[in-house]
Structure 1
Amino acid sequence: MSTVYMRIAPWIRKPRLRLQSIYPRQQTASQAMSTATTLPQATMAKLQQYTACDISDALLKLKVPGAGYLADLAPYSSKPSSSSDATSPTMTTTIAPVSTILFAAKGETPAAPAPNVPKDTHWADVSEPGTFVVMKQAPGQTNAICGGIMALRMKMRRVEGIIVAGRVRDVQELRSTKLPILALGQSTVGSGGSSIPWALQVPLDINGVNVSPGDIAFQDPANGVVVIPRDKVDQVLEMLPRLTSADDKVKEDVLKGMSVYDAFQLHR
């Protein structure tokens, strides 16, 4: 009996190993974060020639929801400019790949995505260097999800900026980081009582605009924030020279006395 068992046991075990390989393991937060996109310098240089409005014009043509614009964000901290001209996009625009953090209301369990914040780890300690961190808060809350300590930690982690689809606090401390920090509102209340970090590096829906890790955040202090889907970057760059050239021609003709209607008909 024992001889027969030894002969068939390997055959019994093989299907179990093969079945396990069919089902992919759930991606951990650290694995998700390792997929962050690095923006090539050549791409950065080309994008810096334009404004957020130019980017949205291209995204509108590409039928991206909301033209990528994250509406109603107010600046709570700004990156210092080396130019006295606040309208100069080459001096003040911040462009970086997106990383994301989703918060949930304490006591509630979102249907999706699955939680993936590492145990015994603060979310700020695993913020992704070189990215524009985009955070989303559960709707209807009056507490903040990002304050001075978290912003300071993210600065030490070398993030490029912070966008909060929710509330922030400690405004003076936020300003001291000299990072571009934008949010929908502010509060005096910390996150501990009402919000918990739920998932890192997951797609977010911010007022109908899809924001995913690896997308490109384009923050233009004069005009706002636009998110370029990662698979649309090349198309946007291809369209921008043509779109901006057409606008320049329209403005030239309007200055000469032509009607906007006729100028649009001629150049757009």
Structure 2
Amino acid sequence: MSNNVVKFLEKFTPCDVSDALVKFGHPTGGFIPNLKRFSKNAQGSSAVGKAYTVLYAPKSDPRPEVKDKYIDILPKDSIVVIALSKELQSAHAPYVKLNNAVYGGLMSTRAQYLGAKGSVIFARIRDVDEHRDLGYPVFAYGLGTAAPGPVVKVVGINVPVEVTVGEGQYETINPEDILIADENGVVKVPKDEQLIEKITEYIPKRVEADQLVAEDIKRGEEAAKAQKLRRANL
């Protein structure tokens, strides 16, 4: 996946990307629900990067523990994605059955040094002040205080992970899918070159049209009329 796409999307928001994904046949706009932003980057811009996935499972899981330290082999411009195996997930708040945190300040410190763009944790995190002091974006379900080691282990690195998006519903995040996140939430763009070409062409046009809609509304124009006029050729 071209790093140029990451740089391009940093100029926009997850909402802009969702509008484009809806336009091209993705009805949920790629939105992954239930996450909260706990820290942001120093620039205040969207966190954008290619997914680098890590899967945790209970200690009792028959799969062997991955001995490599995922945090030391992060690719530059990646988004760290940590997920739990399905039996540790819940479709209802707090969306996770594990009270231990699986990610902390030292992980963000290392990730930032290696050039990662942020971390999306489908579980609990700890050391909130450290993430904020770093100016490193972290998104998660919630907070905890205990480390993960006593109860879970890493069973996969750079593998597809499934995360709950509703009762009996899961979203798959594949390695190198693009994630874009800000205070509005997290959006996934599939690793699909044709789709990416379409949305990168569409997004600036849609943003410009919506800016014109806003100007029309401020002058007293009806919203529906302004939207129909400005978006007519999109």
TM-score above 0.5, yes or no: yes
Aligned to 2:173: 211
SS in 2 for 1:67: coil
Structure 1 residue 58 displacement after superposition? 0.5
Q: Cα deviation per residue 1:45-94 (whole Å; 9 max; x = unaligned)? A: 4323322211110011223363122323222232212xxxx5xxxxx223
CA distance in 2, matches of 1:163, 1:125: 17
Aligned to 1:267: 230
Select which of 132, 147, 157 maps to 1:190.
147
Aligned to 1:130: 77
* Structure 1 residues 265 and 178, CA gap change in structure 2 (3 angstroms): closer
Aligned to 2:208: 245
Aligned to 1:77: 39
Structure 1 residue 161 displacement after superposition? 1.3
* Structure 1 residues 257 and 144, CA gap change in structure 2 (3 angstroms): same
CA distance in 1, matches of 2:128, 2:13: 27
Whether the aligned pair in 2 keeps the contact of 1:38 and 1:97 (CA below 8 Å) is no
Percent identity over the alignment is 29
Whether the aligned pair in 1 keeps the contact of 2:66 and 2:155 (CA below 8 Å) is no
TM-score (norm 2): 0.80
Whether the aligned pair in 1 keeps the contact of 2:51 and 2:80 (CA below 8 Å) is yes
Structure 1 residue 190 displacement after superposition? 1.3
SS in 2 for 1:66: coil
Structure 1 residue 136 displacement after superposition? 0.8
Q: Cα deviation per residue 1:96-121 (whole Å; 9 max; x = unaligned)? A: 21111111122134xxxxx58643x3
CA distance in 1, matches of 2:131, 2:40: 9
CA distance in 1, matches of 2:141, 2:111: 19
Structure 1 residue 38 displacement after superposition? 4.5
Aligned to 1:95: 48
Structure 1 residue 157 displacement after superposition? 3.2
Q: Give yes or no for the alignment of 1:46 onto 2:3.
A: no
Whether the aligned pair in 1 keeps the contact of 2:131 and 2:137 (CA below 8 Å) is no
CA distance in 1, matches of 2:107, 2:11: 32
Aligned to 2:188: 227
Higher strand share: 2
Whether the aligned pair in 1 keeps the contact of 2:105 and 2:127 (CA below 8 Å) is yes
Q: Give yes or no for the alignment of 1:157 onto 2:108.
A: no
Whether the aligned pair in 2 keeps the contact of 1:66 and 1:209 (CA below 8 Å) is no
Structure 1 residue 229 displacement after superposition? 1.4
TM-score (norm 1): 0.70
Q: Give yes or no for the alignment of 1:105 onto 2:58.
A: yes
Give the root-mean-square deviation of aligned CA atoms.
2.4
SS in 1 for 2:11: coil
SS in 2 for 1:250: helix
SS in 1 for 2:41: coil
CA distance in 2, matches of 1:134, 1:239: 27
Question: Greater Rg, structure 1 or structure 2?
Answer: 1
Q: Cα deviation per residue 1:156-204 (whole Å; 9 max; x = unaligned)? A: 4332211101110122233343321111101012102222111111122
CA distance in 2, matches of 1:202, 1:255: 48
* Structure 1 residues 258 and 175, CA gap change in structure 2 (3 angstroms): closer
How many residue pairs are counted as aligned between the two chains?
Answer: 214
Select which of 236, 240, 243 maps to 2:199.
236
